[in-house]
Amino acid sequence: MVQGAVQADVALLVTDVSHFEAGFERGGQTKEHLQLVRALGISHVVIAINKLDTVDWSQDVYENIKSRVEAFVLGPDCGFKASSLTFVPLSGFTGENMLERKAEQLSWWNGPTLIEALDKIPLPVRPASSGPLRIPISDVYKSGANVVVSGKVESGSLSVGQKVLVLPSNEQAPVKSLQSGNQVVRSASVGDYLDSVIIALEPQFASIGGALCDPKHPLAVVDAFQAQILVFDVDVPIMRGQQFMCYLHVEALTATVAKLEKLIVKCKPQEKRPKCLQKGNIAIVQLRVNRKVCVEPKPKDGVPTSFGRLVLRDRGSTVAAGVVLAAATA
């Protein structure tokens, strides 16, 4: 889910009225998925309240679930803006209010259908295509004497014939062809997802979690980095030496908390170094990962790309999320 969400521009959350409590209370995934998409930089969410046909299209049931989800999404645990949310009642089984509204029992609803809600979402703000090329590699396979990779163009542009740097192997090779969806294309720019980038390269030099980038402006490849994180609900406070699963763009790693550097209170770093981190804390930490990974620190006056966003999980739960501030070699 994390590897898919990091490549998305918007999120569609489907919540089930017949099993709402199981998904929304602690141990369920509804809250966790909302926190994850926010941490990964997705700002617009369409929330589909599904299976309303099983409760006779009850407006009371819809309003109750909407108010509970909305309170969480707009609260400190997620921090979405109200203008970035759209709620839609529907039934996936009958198709009601997905493409059109037919049921008389839904006459109380005068809002959009699901497709209308998605169509009304504004286009996301993207980096300029003139920036350096950045593509996280989400899939790799061999094709004859070439290697084929997939990924979303996070920054810059890519054209057939262009030479790219493949990280972390540090190999350079020309692009032989591009395919987006079912179409062969000559070029791609920021926001495009490329299902097939054929490169004249041996497959051992490309790997999932690596990157294609501009040879003149390479990404940092490190095994340690400084990050600013927000701590979610944790059973045990986060301390130095703890290990977590770290999801960074399309890469999944084991991360160790090497140092707790500073606690941030009301946007101001504190002088005293924290001994542990608890729910709601914002802190600057140093993380050491089990292998080399491509990172891109958050720009001072810009939005971080997926190469600068991370999520920490422990025993099946998300415990923290944040951004890379600086690259370092352990």
Domain CATH code at residue 237: 2.40.30.10
Q: Which domain holds residue 156?
A: 134-213
pLDDT single digits (tens) 108-128? 999 999 999 999 998 877 766
- List, in order, residues 6 or more apart from 73 with CB less than 8 Å away: 34, 45, 47, 80, 85
Q: Indicate the residue among 167, 194, 213 that finishes a domain.
A: 213
pLDDT single digits (tens) 170-224? 999 999 999 998 899 999 999 899 999 999 998 899 999 999 999 999 999 999 9
User: What φ, ψ does residue 324 adopt, rounded to 5°?
Assistant: -75, 130
Verify that 203 and 263 share a domain, yes or no: no
Distance CA 58, CA 145 (A): 60
Neighbours of 64 (CB within 10 A): 14
List the end-to-end C-alpha distance of the chain, in Å, as a whole number: 29
Q: Confidence class of residue 134 from pLDDT cuts 50, 70 and 90?
A: very high
- As for how many domains the chain has, the answer is 3
Verify that 8 and 91 share a domain, yes or no: yes
Q: Indicate the residue among 119, 151, 176 that finishes a domain.
A: 119
- List, in order, residues 6 or more apart from 46 with CB less than 8 Å away: 10, 11, 12, 13, 85, 86, 88, 114, 117, 118, 121
Residue 47 lies in a domain: yes
Verify that 267 and 318 share a domain, yes or no: yes
Q: The dihedral of CA 170, 174, 177, 180: what is its sign?
A: positive
Q: What is the mean pLDDT of residues 56-64?
A: 95
Verify that 202 and 248 share a domain, yes or no: no
Residue with tokens 């920021």: 190
**Hey, which residues does 157 pair with through a beta bridge?**
189
Q: What is the mean pLDDT of residues 228-234?
A: 89
Q: Given a cut of 50, is residue 330 above it in pLDDT?
A: no
Verify that 205 and 231 share a domain, yes or no: no
How large a percentage of the chain has pLDDT more than 70? Answer: 97
Least confident of 2-6, 60-64, 235-239, 277-281: 2-6
Q: What is the mean pLDDT of residues 296-315?
A: 84
Q: What's the one-letter identity of residue 229?
A: I
pLDDT of residue 27: 61
